[in-house]
A and B are shown apart, each in its own frame.
Chain A
């Protein structure tokens, strides 16, 4: 049944690609749009892969996203746990983070360029900032929304603060934490592309900018498809993990 449903959801995509191919082959789109047929995009994808251009740029973007996202998420998680569990830490840090949180990740770009220059640290730091705040706030919310009676019960059953955190609060906050991770996993890819387009000479974003300057719409579309697939894959991964860890009891 699941396979049938998955196949059913593929039909609109296939129809869309078919229309795309027909519209471009029949030259229904004006020439100054330089819009290639879908098969041309696939062909270019193949050439870029074989030549190593796409894998090289993709791996650079991927490594930046993974490093920035994992460090930002871990930092957000740890500080979020402390803020969620200890009221005094929350009261101290909340006003500071409240001021910093609304600043868009790319807003930090000028300062980071001055501090780190055009280096690998620049995109990593941007991804770090982009991932840190949402994971932090979702973790705080997750821990704070755990039913207080569950904590009281655990205490009466003899649990120490550390045990309560590890056996009650964190498992029950998982859903919120994963929401933060899922949202930011996609956002990290969007931000890295933007950062690479503006300031970094390597990566999918940089490839996108070079293709634009050469009016290679087919390469631009290849890059956009890679971006879309990666955003979707990262989000799906966290949806899957959340489901794996919480579906039995939710």
Chain B
């Protein structure tokens, strides 16, 4: 039985959303601003009205008001009570629950230790840094032992280093406490790092729910693909289907001549069918113009028009006769110059159709390997 279940939730933003979250799971809602992520949190918490049904541990909570739903809610602005010190903020919910004084003190002690903020207990929110506020607000949310923890972009105001540090700490705490959590963010890196599963939300609808790996390598729709950072989306038409492979003609605007590529055969392929194919930049390799690519690889001639630093690698933008493709190449293997002609190479199993699990072969419970090779 799922710890949280949303059945056909609708309101002014959400459109017939359904979602099941297992006990102790950390579900991330990923999507752009205005997609309905925060609205969904408000619905789960009971702060706004909705149609449909919200169930906690199989029991409907639709008639239960927000103050009796037992949810911990961490708002984007953290919303620490400015007139209460950290200790009083943390114990606010416990006092409301009229717990015994010794129990409150013990729980406060536990929270201060868990969040490593013992030294901040008597400080007021105005005297805390962003990260300290974060910890205090999280402690306040989990102190009353809520059934569900809701977090609304809590790390959006933090710098990258603090975000990574607190993100890691939060993940550990969430696992340790085993509290079922819904975490909202618009940052796919944060979503993949934190989430047991990720739901991509767009225009009030859930587009796809997957584990981070599955979502990244097998986005179901063009929106999901683009939102998780897949830039190479090829609009293609299936023109030939063989035993293990298919040949598709890429129809993106730009190429002077249609480009034909070989693609691993997927169940959804039908001759003449229009499909969207996604190739992750990490799966593309580049070869010098005068080198003959491996015959097993697809190859498209193009010109490097831009290169940018992408952390460990270099991100190259290649113009293939009007169609732009993006490749991420390890820095130590990148020996190309800008405006140099190169072969853009990728294996037939690199492109995959944007249609989610149903596209894949039953036995193919595989994960695509990120193989980046550059042959000079």
Contact = CB atoms under 8 A, between A and B. Distances in A.
A168 interface: yes
B79 A160 contact: no
A150 B71 contact: no
Contacts of A159: 67, 92, 96
A112 B47 CA distance: 48
Interface string A84-118: 00000000000000000000000000000000000
A98 to B, nearest CB: 30
A153 B73 contact: yes
Interface string B245-280: 000000000000000000000000000000000000
Given A158-B96, A158-B144, A153 B67 contact: no
A171 B73 CA distance: 22
Interface stretch (A37-45, A213-221, A242-250): A242-250
Contact of B83 (A154, A155, A156, A172): A172
B358 interface: no
Contact of A155 (B66, B72, B150): B66
Contact of A157 (B92, B124, B125, B150): B92
Contact of B97 (A156, A158, A246, A250): A158
Given A149-B77, A150-B79, A156 B67 contact: yes
A147 B80 CA distance: 10
A104 B96 CA distance: 44
Contacts of B77: 147, 149
Nearest to B72: A156
Interface residues of B, number: 28
Contact of A250 (B47, B71, B126): B126
Interface string A147-179: 101101111111110010001100110000000
B37 interface: no
Nearest to B137: A153
B47 A153 contact: no
| Residue from A149, A171, A172 whose CB has the most chain B CB atoms within 10 Å | A149
Interface in A217-238: none
Interface in A155-213: 155-160, 163, 167-168, 171-172
Given A152-B73, A156-B71, A156-B73, A172 B82 contact: yes
Given A150-B79, A156-B67, A172-B83, 14 more contacts: A147-B77, A149-B79, A152-B47, A152-B66, A152-B79, A153-B75, A153-B81, A156-B66, A156-B71, A156-B73, A156-B150, A157-B72, A163-B96, A250-B126
